[in-house]
Structure 1
Amino acid sequence: MEGPRLPPSATATATTPESDDDKPDDPPSVWHRPTSSLPSLPSQDPPSQHWRNHSLNLSPLPTTTPSPLLHPDSIPELETYVVQVPRDQVYWTPPPENAKYIEKRSNNPEKNKKKGCSKRLMWFFIILVVFGFILGAITLILHLAFKPTLPVFAVEGVTVKPSTFEVTMRADNPTSNMGVRYVMKKNGVVSLTYKNKSLGTGKFPGLSQAASGSDKVNVKLNGSTKNAVVQPRGSKQPLAMMLTMELKAEYEAGPIKRNKEVSVSCDVKVKGLLDGKKVEIVSENCESEFKN
């Protein structure tokens, strides 16, 4: 195996003795090492970023141009944090639109206050409308459930006395869930007429009836038969009379009350009125009407 090569001067010295012709004043030969054989110098590039195993570096990455290579002792040690996140949890950040919305609301307190007032007024109006609707529905139900029905009257007999008439009537209350009380209307009268001529006038006595009740009532009228002398005595022709009444009906069912004005008119045909004997009722028909 060959040893390392020596420079030419060394080889010549080792093999050939120095001749007399060589002059001592000649400069010694110089040997140069090739440049390619020199060791490479360390690179001046900055050290690359690295991460520690099983760790999370929370420090922000540098955004500026890295500084020149510094001495190892002058480089500060970076702090690292280890964060363990369970796999079954998902973390998310709200979108940036939420931050803009909050900032916009915080910048306009007066507008937000006005919106709050308008919302309260709107809810108050809605509650008022709902309450009115419920109250109207209850009123309608009560009106339909407790609706008075027209009373029914009938003339059952007429008795003639020297200065009075006594009319016997039957009153029926068809309202099944409300009682009623009949009283005379203010300035009202009960009138008995013959061909628009008054035979007698009087007052209707107070009468109270239960729901679906039926009662008799006697009405006394002050008057005489002098205005009915147009027919001769002993005539068998029936005498047509008109009985009219203006009453006030007060219906009641617990706390529910209804006041009605009732107008009653009865067409009555009788025989024997002028003889002063027993009066016979040939026909009768009474009609009732609510005035309000």
Structure 2
Amino acid sequence: MEGPRLPPSATTTHHEADDDKPDDPPSVWHRPTSSLPSLPSQDQPPQHWRNHSLNLSPILATPPSSLPPPDSIPELETYVVQVPRDQVYWTPPPENAKYVQKRQNKPEKNKKNWCSKRLMWIFIILIAFGLILGAITLTLHYVFKPTLPVFAIEKISVQPSNFEVTLRAKNPTSNMGVIYMMKKDEIVSLTYKLKRLGRGIFPRLSQAASGSNKVTLKLDGSTKNAVMPPRGSKQPISLVLAMELNAVYEAGPVKKNKDVVVTCDVNVKGLLDAKKVEIVSEKCKSEFKN
């Protein structure tokens, strides 16, 4: 009875194959390719792999020089480029070109617009300056406004060749002083029924704001220049004192010139007999001429 048949050994198989087929190449034992380690692309496989692996034999049969080169990593390089200074490699945006073209096409219009704006600003500045100046002028006019002076006759005395008239002058302006001066070619006159009894000048007089002063006028003349009532008559005599003065009102830098016309109507008794004339009534009127 035959036992189980053993598998033929490698030696037996090798010899049998040599006997049967002398021309065939010897059979080899195949190693699983999954057990091979991963090979670098640049290193060639070992000699025993080259002889005993069927999967690698077609590739390894190719000469090493015919294999494609491995992928190389490019190295970073630096380049120096020299550009002439007179070359411009920057192109402005199209909006700039349109703006320049618009300016070049209408230079006269742009110049005219600039001149118009300049004239407009000058005109506005002049108007503003005029308004400010007008406001200042109105303020000064209403704040520093001269008031008519007040005159009153307090005393009249008769001398052989002249008359002495004492006046009370008052400046009612509260914020401005005043200086009274006689106008050129003007005189103070004392008349009776349009006949001049005496003439003279008004002395220079300075008054403070709301000031009051006495002033004495010396008028050259006599009662002989007119037909007077007889001596001893108790009938009042009406006299007229007239003068035109230049009044200069001042308050710091503010100065105003005014011409003042003063007319005083006075009734007196004893003009011919007594040394002291009695004033029955008097009234002085002042007004600005300008």
- The residue number in structure 1 matching 2:165 is 167
Within-5 A mapping of 1:140-179: 140-179=138-177
Q: How far off its partner does 1:114 sit? A: 1.1
- The residue number in structure 2 matching 1:232 is 230
Larger radius of gyration: 2
Runs of 4+ in 1 over 2 A off after TM superposition: 96-107, 227-230
Match of 1:209 among 207, 219, 223: 207
Q: TM-score, normalised by structure 1?
A: 0.64
Q: How far off its partner does 1:102 sit? A: 6.9
* Contact 2:155 2:166 (C-alpha < 8 Å) held by counterparts: yes
- The residue number in structure 1 matching 2:131 is 133
**Aligned sequence identity (%):** 73
Within-5 A mapping of 1:1-292: 103-292=101-290
Cα deviations across residues 141-162 of structure 1 (Å, max 9, x unaligned)? 1111111111000000101111
* Contact 2:172 2:210 (C-alpha < 8 Å) held by counterparts: yes
Q: How far off its partner does 1:106 sit? A: 4.3
* Contact 1:178 1:210 (C-alpha < 8 Å) held by counterparts: yes
Cα deviations across residues 242-265 of structure 1 (Å, max 9, x unaligned)? 000111101111111101111100
Q: How far off its partner does 1:111 sit? A: 1.0
Cα deviations across residues 167-210 of structure 1 (Å, max 9, x unaligned)? 00000001111100101000110000000001100011111000
- The residue number in structure 1 matching 2:83 is none
Closer, same or farther in 2 for the Cα pair 1:275/1:229, shift >3 Å?
farther
Q: How far off its partner does 1:282 sit? A: 0.3
Consecutive unaligned residues in structure 2, runs of 5 or more: 1-93
SS of the residue corresponding to residue 211 of structure 1 reads coil
Give the letter for the 2:289 counterpart. K
* Contact 2:196 2:226 (C-alpha < 8 Å) held by counterparts: no
* Contact 2:248 2:256 (C-alpha < 8 Å) held by counterparts: yes
Tell me how far apart the structure 2 counterparts of residues 209 and 261 of structure 1 sit (CA, whole Å): 16
SS of the residue corresponding to residue 115 of structure 1 reads helix
* Contact 1:244 1:266 (C-alpha < 8 Å) held by counterparts: yes
SS of the residue corresponding to residue 282 of structure 1 reads strand
Give the letter for the 1:128 counterpart. L
SS of the residue corresponding to residue 136 of structure 2 reads helix
Tell me how far apart the structure 2 counterparts of residues 108 and 154 of structure 1 sit (CA, whole Å): 79
Tell me how far apart the structure 2 counterparts of residues 198 and 184 of structure 1 sit (CA, whole Å): 19
Consecutive unaligned residues in structure 1, runs of 5 or more: 1-95
Give the letter for the 1:214 counterpart. S
Larger displacement relative to structure 2 (103-112 or 191-200) = 103-112
Larger displacement relative to structure 2 (222-231 or 164-173) = 222-231
* Contact 1:242 1:267 (C-alpha < 8 Å) held by counterparts: yes
Q: TM-score, normalised by structure 2?
A: 0.65
Larger displacement relative to structure 2 (273-282 or 105-114) = 105-114
Closer, same or farther in 2 for the Cα pair 1:106/1:272, shift >3 Å?
same
SS of the residue corresponding to residue 114 of structure 1 reads helix
Q: Higher helix fraction: Structure 1 or Structure 2?
A: 2
Give the letter for the 1:179 counterpart. G
**Count of aligned pairs:** 197
Q: How far off its partner does 1:100 sit? A: 6.5
Give the letter for the 1:188 counterpart. E
* Contact 1:161 1:276 (C-alpha < 8 Å) held by counterparts: no
Q: How far off its partner does 1:140 sit? A: 1.2
Q: How far off its partner does 1:103 sit? A: 4.8
Q: Superposition RMSD on alpha carbons, in Å?
A: 1.8
SS of the residue corresponding to residue 133 of structure 1 reads helix
